[in-house]
Structure 1
Amino acid sequence: MTRVTVIGGGCIGVSVASHLVERDIDVRLLDKGYAAGETTGKAGGLIFSQLHEPADVRAMAYSLEFFRSLSERDNHFTFHESGFLRLGTEAERPVFEHEVAMQREAGADVRLVEPDEMGMIYPSLSLDGVTVGTYSPSDGYADPHTFTTTLLADAEANGLEYRPGTRVIDVTASESPSVTTEEGTIESDVVVIAAGPWSHRLAALADVDLPAKPYRAQALVTAPVGVDVGTVYDAHEGVYFRTTQDTGLLVGDGTEEVEADPDDYSRRADFDFLATMSETIERRLSAADVGVQNAWAGLCTATPDCFPLVGRPPFESGAEPRPDGLLVAAGLQGHGFMRSPAVGRAIAELICDDRPPVAEWRPTRFDDDPGDFEIEEMLTLEGKYHNLE
């Protein structure tokens, strides 16, 4: 039986492990902390197919069905299919029209909407200044921590060996790769690095220069506002928000487009972020005052072209990977939670069927060393389509 060691107990690592266990693979999952204890536990939980590239839209079809199926068969996890509305002005209309046509062709259930229809979708929403939007009734949200722990429990019941509190200190890439922890060395046939913002450091232990940069993103939860607005992204203001179970709102973005140290970054939300988001939400809900109950900052991981790194990495830019059993699943650009089912399936198909992931996700796609690169926030539309500007 193939032996696989997965490093990282967030939604990506757990999804990889779960998909492999379903294929009768012998899997050990290592985590320096505990499941969903870092990046995953701080995620906003949005699940949507309104993405910028066809490959991502098609991958999300699998993820959406995975979330629905898990929600139906396991009462610990709920996928809230609340719909997802993007708001824009005439400045965003060309991009919205372009993306809706592309997304529909790729199979997404999405349409262009005008203010009258938006008002019927979410009556509590103030549409001041909004002239156009896009809407998918099939999108929604879920709790990332609950998803990850539910999937982990299922995988453990099916034979997964889970080792929380296990810090990796070395990774050896060879014909028989191994992972060295503080407790000893684990021999494997395949090692999968799925450690979020720590992935580039773990890859470096195996002499792989992974083009990935961690960066901060921020979120807050408001006091109850008494309205249900499902899931909304204001493309003009650059803020997303969704209903919480106690009728408050989870509000996010606050992206800081500079590289962060995953072991030394501010986990507290900035005052400017809190003030700006509060003003935006008060305006969008026509509310006099929106109180903040909780706020935090977490990390996302960027790549040079905003596509994830899923598959066998090269040891030199432009070179083919050596058959050494080292795989990566990283660089999800802030959309790791909602794409985790598709990433888990991609890694399982690569290991079990030798089926490579989509070309846009392959770590070998960079012909030249990308070197230093600018971090780009994923949700924003600015600069995505220069031919439409």
Structure 2
Amino acid sequence: MDEFSDADDDRGAGRSIAVVGAGAVGLTAAHDLAARGAAVTVYERGDVAGESTGRAAGILYDAYAEDVDARIAGRAIERFRALSGTGGFEFRETPYVWFVTEPGRKADAIRQQVDGMVRNDRRVERVDADDLAAEYPALRTEDVVEAAVSRNAGVADTAAYADAVAELAVAEGVELREGTAASVALDPPRVNGDAYDAVLVAAGAHTARVLADAGVSVPLKPYRVQALTAGFSGEIPTLYDATEGYYARPHPEGVLAGDGTEEVEADPEAYDRDGDDWFVDAMRERLADRLPGFEPDVHRAWAGLCTATPDRDPLLGELADGLYVAAGWQGHGFMRAPATGEAIAAEILGGEGVPAFDPTRFDGDEVFEVVEGMTVE
């Protein structure tokens, strides 16, 4: 048994399970299923971490006010730490700071969030502008009117996580089929004509299409987000400016920053994967304003896809007999992948799963608007 797994049973023995999607969640589930004795095949039409996982920001924290979210995020942090040092993956301890620069509704929301997080035993506290300036002199803080910091937080290379878990999964016996598109059917659950005891679709922005081809509708909408890396030598936490609506985190190239969310449905087969000029220009201005001494040396800018649901909670669980889904993360998928992958694996093997995220709470034909996932309200 590897350090990433705490499997102490063989509940999966004798079961055959297919996973569609070799992103962070799908690979975690595949690993955990195999660690409990299941025969697992992963279908990935591209490469490991080739889609949303590889384009994610790699921001990690457990600062949630809702008890279910806090529990899942806390478990994810535990597993990120356990995996650190495996292959090329490293969990870098990095506090997460979120703040506003105007009084009003969002400032009140931060105070309320902190109260809820403390009730859930999260390591968070309110801080003021002077506190931030003392701890992070590289930040301009005099305009901050309300802020909080989460200490149980970090950053990571998202592709390195996927590669490390894929390696562990293969060592547990998982058959990883990269470059293999998947067609799912039911009664019994099948992928590309091969029957399985269970099929998990964890295909990110492609999940709705994969399931639709199997005759199953789910309320998922992909939406486009953007990020960039730039040079910077100062020490900063991960930060989220809730007034301006952008985030930044330390990165080997200096700083990684993002925003550029388009609150409209995107086509996962035909979206622009490069960062827009307007986004790059806007982020240069924001970083120069928040990080005195920042030089507008942008190294690269890209776009990726997140997936939205009507209530902004994920779809995690059984949709039909033997068919499971794990999608709809609203931009928080990688952050929670070690825990959500673990949870769906447990449910497939007879566990409770996460009732609050049961996908059958929806009919599948809901009409809803895309709403950005990283907000303070």
Aligned to 2:220: 212
Aligned to 1:241: 248
Q: How much does 1:12 deviate? A: 1.2
Structure 1: any 5+ residue segments left out of the alignment?
Answer: 314-321, 385-389
Matched residue pairs, number? 362
Asked if 2 retains the 8 angstrom alpha-carbon contact of 1:49 and 1:108, the reply is yes
Q: How much does 1:349 deviate? A: 1.2
The 3 A distance-change label for structure 1 pair 148 and 288 is closer
Equivalent position to 2:171, from 157, 167, 182: 157
Aligned to 1:79: 91
Equivalent position to 1:362, from 358, 365, 371: 358
Q: Distance in 1 between matches of 2:82 and 2:281?
A: 39
The 3 A distance-change label for structure 1 pair 287 and 214 is same
Instruction: Give the SS at the match of 1:102.
Output: helix
Q: Distance in 2 between matches of 1:356 and 1:172?
A: 25
Q: How much does 1:288 deviate? A: 5.9
Instruction: Give the SS at the match of 2:331.
Output: coil
Runs of 4+ in 1 over 4 A off after TM superposition: none
Q: How much does 1:311 deviate? A: 0.3
Asked if 1 retains the 8 angstrom alpha-carbon contact of 2:65 and 2:120, the reply is no
Equivalent position to 1:292, from 272, 291, 298: 298
Asked if 1 retains the 8 angstrom alpha-carbon contact of 2:87 and 2:164, the reply is no
After superposition, the C-alpha distances for 1:269-321 in whole angstroms (9 at most, x for unaligned) are 111111111100000012363211100100000001110000012xxxxxxxx
TM-score, reference length from structure 2: 0.93
After superposition, the C-alpha distances for 1:220-254 in whole angstroms (9 at most, x for unaligned) are 0112x2111021111111110011124x1100121
Indicate yes or no: 2:331 matched with 1:334. yes
Q: Distance in 1 between matches of 2:295 and 2:173?
A: 51
Instruction: Give the SS at the match of 2:264.
Output: strand
Q: How much does 1:22 deviate? A: 1.4
Instruction: Give the SS at the match of 1:290.
Output: coil
Q: Distance in 2 between matches of 1:29 and 1:275?
A: 40
Q: How does 1:85-100 map to 2 (within 5 A)?
A: 85-89=97-101, 90-91=103-104, 92-100=106-114
The amino acid across from 2:45 in the alignment is K
Q: Distance in 1 between matches of 2:49 and 2:265?
A: 22
Indicate yes or no: 2:1 matched with 1:4. no
TM-score, reference length from structure 1: 0.90
Q: Distance in 1 between matches of 2:308 and 2:294?
A: 37
Q: How much does 1:75 deviate? A: 5.1
The 3 A distance-change label for structure 1 pair 114 and 148 is same
The amino acid across from 1:122 in the alignment is Y
Q: How much does 1:356 deviate? A: 2.7
Asked if 1 retains the 8 angstrom alpha-carbon contact of 2:17 and 2:197, the reply is yes
Aligned to 2:136: 122
Asked if 2 retains the 8 angstrom alpha-carbon contact of 1:311 and 1:362, the reply is yes
Asked if 1 retains the 8 angstrom alpha-carbon contact of 2:92 and 2:156, the reply is yes
Indicate yes or no: 2:161 matched with 1:147. yes
Q: How much does 1:376 deviate? A: 0.8
Equivalent position to 1:378, from 364, 373, 377: 373
The amino acid across from 1:377 in the alignment is E
Aligned to 1:387: none
Aligned to 1:107: 121
Q: Distance in 2 between matches of 1:145 and 1:301?
A: 19
Q: Distance in 1 between matches of 2:174 and 2:294?
A: 51
Indicate yes or no: 2:132 matched with 1:136. no
Q: How much does 1:152 deviate? A: 0.5
Q: Distance in 2 between matches of 1:81 and 1:167?
A: 37
Instruction: Give the SS at the match of 2:148.
Output: strand
The 3 A distance-change label for structure 1 pair 369 and 197 is closer
Q: How does 1:246-265 map to 2 (within 5 A)?
A: 246=253, 248-265=254-271
Q: Distance in 2 between matches of 1:238 and 1:244?
A: 20
Asked if 2 retains the 8 angstrom alpha-carbon contact of 1:42 and 1:298, the reply is yes
Q: Distance in 2 between matches of 1:147 and 1:75?
A: 9
Q: How does 1:60-79 map to 2 (within 5 A)?
A: 60-72=73-85, 74=86, 76-79=88-91
Asked if 2 retains the 8 angstrom alpha-carbon contact of 1:359 and 1:365, the reply is no
Instruction: Give the SS at the match of 2:71.
Output: helix
Q: Distance in 2 between matches of 1:299 and 1:288?
A: 28
The 3 A distance-change label for structure 1 pair 128 and 278 is farther
Q: How much does 1:56 deviate? A: 1.0
Equivalent position to 1:59, from 72, 93, 107: 72
Asked if 2 retains the 8 angstrom alpha-carbon contact of 1:304 and 1:370, the reply is no
Asked if 2 retains the 8 angstrom alpha-carbon contact of 1:58 and 1:107, the reply is no
After superposition, the C-alpha distances for 1:342-386 in whole angstroms (9 at most, x for unaligned) are 11111111112x2232232110223x66622111111112xx4xx
Q: What RMSD, in angstroms, separates the aligned Cα atoms of the two structures?
A: 1.4
